[in-house]
Chain A
Amino acid sequence: MNEDFEPKIVAFLCNWCAYMGADLAGTSRIQYPPNLRIIRMMCSGAVDPVYVIKPLLDGADGVLIGGCHPGDCHYQEGNYKARRRVAILKNILHQMGFDEERVWLRWISASEGQVFAETVTEMVEALKEKGPNPLKELWGT
């Protein structure tokens, strides 16, 4: 593992749960690695695959999609649809020779500041294990 390597993660967090979880982590002063670039979405179901693929092709080391736990979606079923979409996206990335484990989907509720911090820590660790996204260097995307 390259200790100097700090992965860059783009995170799409839903307004109602995961983003609130991140907020709670902050207001509770829970420490977590600063590798995340957070984009607030109204719903994990609003994350089109194009939003995930774009940063990966541009060299981001990972993409995190955070939504409400199943059954808790503010819009009733957005997270269930997100789950199908992410499953399809990961399957396609895998079939196309891309490491689909760089894409994470996690359910984080508004009260789970600790879970949010732990998720980020875990993801940073996992990506450090993997090393940088090869597309950072590869010519031709």
Chain B
Amino acid sequence: MKVEKFLEVKEGDTLAILRNFLQRLLEKEIVEALLVPLEAPSGDTVMPALVKEPARLEKANPLAPVMPVNAARLVSSLTIGKPKEKIGALLRSCEIRALIELVKLQQAHLENLMIIGIDCLGTYEVTDYAKLLSEGGASTTELMRGAKEGTLSPHEGYQFRSACRICEYPIPKNAALTIGLLGVDGEKILIKAPEELAQRLELTEGEAASREEVIKKLGEARIEERDRLFAQFRERVVDMPSLLAQFSTCIRCHNCTVACPICYCKECLFRTSTFEHESDRYLKWARRKGAIQMPTDTLLFQLTRLNHMVTSCVGCGMCESACPNDIPLTTIFRAVGQEVQAMFDYLPGRSLEDELPLATFKEDELTELGER
């Protein structure tokens, strides 16, 4: 049974209270290590770090609106060898959803892991965030004001990552412990936890009256923007020339694969020598078509990646952030994913119970396919 309790914010310093809260998790040995974003030594970003020493949490910043990596990948590394100590992982919604997919893909384990979810207030590209910080923007006060009302508008002159602009899931699900910011009075932070755990954490009573309403309003706005982008995509991609246009600047650098929390093959076909062809072959193809684009096999790579992982795509948009040539991968993968996932009533990251569409089948489905 989960209860909703609160942390009191003193003198408007939300970050200090959160750091203190995280320290308590370690000191009370609720977890023995914490995976949390720490302010990097460079001072212009945060990076996830595995923390053992509570004092190190003085640099923790789970509120920083930036996401250099989808931490589900890191949880995979931390748990694949079954850790002997209890690890707490502070994750956003898209990271938890990706983690659930990875568990189903047998690339992560939940034993000895406590998922700590936090409301996501939207993230900037890494370079934008660094610039914003140098200009003194993105202060915690500014963020918390938006969180209370659910008006998550980016700092003037900036925009959130495209994935965040169309994210209808800012609230974490499937977490053992949730840190709620949206629709909560600025003087408080919502902590949703099992009753027994809540007692150990010395929380106070209260209520977040407008939270449901704020979340609903935000979700509706995001879905409207999402559907607008999906409609644009569906109008734009109608035939083969427009298909080619989607990925024409792909250089098969595989950044999207590396950044993708889902792309699960330990040895990716596209990162082997399979596509290092003989000189004569390139020339043969060029002769046949008159010209071939170099590097070759870029569209093959993108279409294959879509086929392999789109059923599990959680829409975190790390692929697009990693793309050196700004291919609108978030919209492509989310729009295509929406239809493919709907075929099997599958929502990636929703539940551990739903079987991966590619790992199962029903005898009485798709019966027309294959028949004359």
Contact = CB atoms under 8 A, between A and B. Distances in A.
Given A86-B369, A107-B370, A96 B339 contact: no
Interface in A126-141: 134-141
B300 A88 contact: no
A50 B340 contact: no
Q: How large is the interface on B (under 10, 10 to 19, 20 to 34, 35 or more residues)?
A: 35 or more
A97 B239 contact: yes
Nearest to B242: A97
Contacts of A92: 303, 306-307, 310, 336, 340
B240 A98 contact: yes
A53 interface: yes
B304 A50 contact: yes
Interface residues of A, number: 45
Nearest to A67: B370
A105 interface: yes
Contacts of B361: 77, 80-81, 83-84
A24 interface: no
A139 B243 contact: no
Main secondary structure of the interface of A (DSSP, over half): helix
A50 B370 contact: no
A118 B298 CA distance: 36
A51 B86 CA distance: 43
Contacts of A48: 304
A109 to B, nearest CB: 12
Interface string B288-306: 1111110010111001101
6 contacts: A49-B307, A79-B370, A83-B365, A96-B303, A107-B371, A139-B289
Q: In the A-B complex, list the 5 residue pairs whose CB atoms are closest, starting with the nearest.
A: A49-B307, A80-B361, A97-B243, A50-B304, A140-B293
Given A87-B343, A134-B240, 10 more contacts: A50-B300, A58-B285, A59-B288, A77-B361, A81-B358, A89-B307, A95-B237, A97-B238, A97-B242, A99-B240
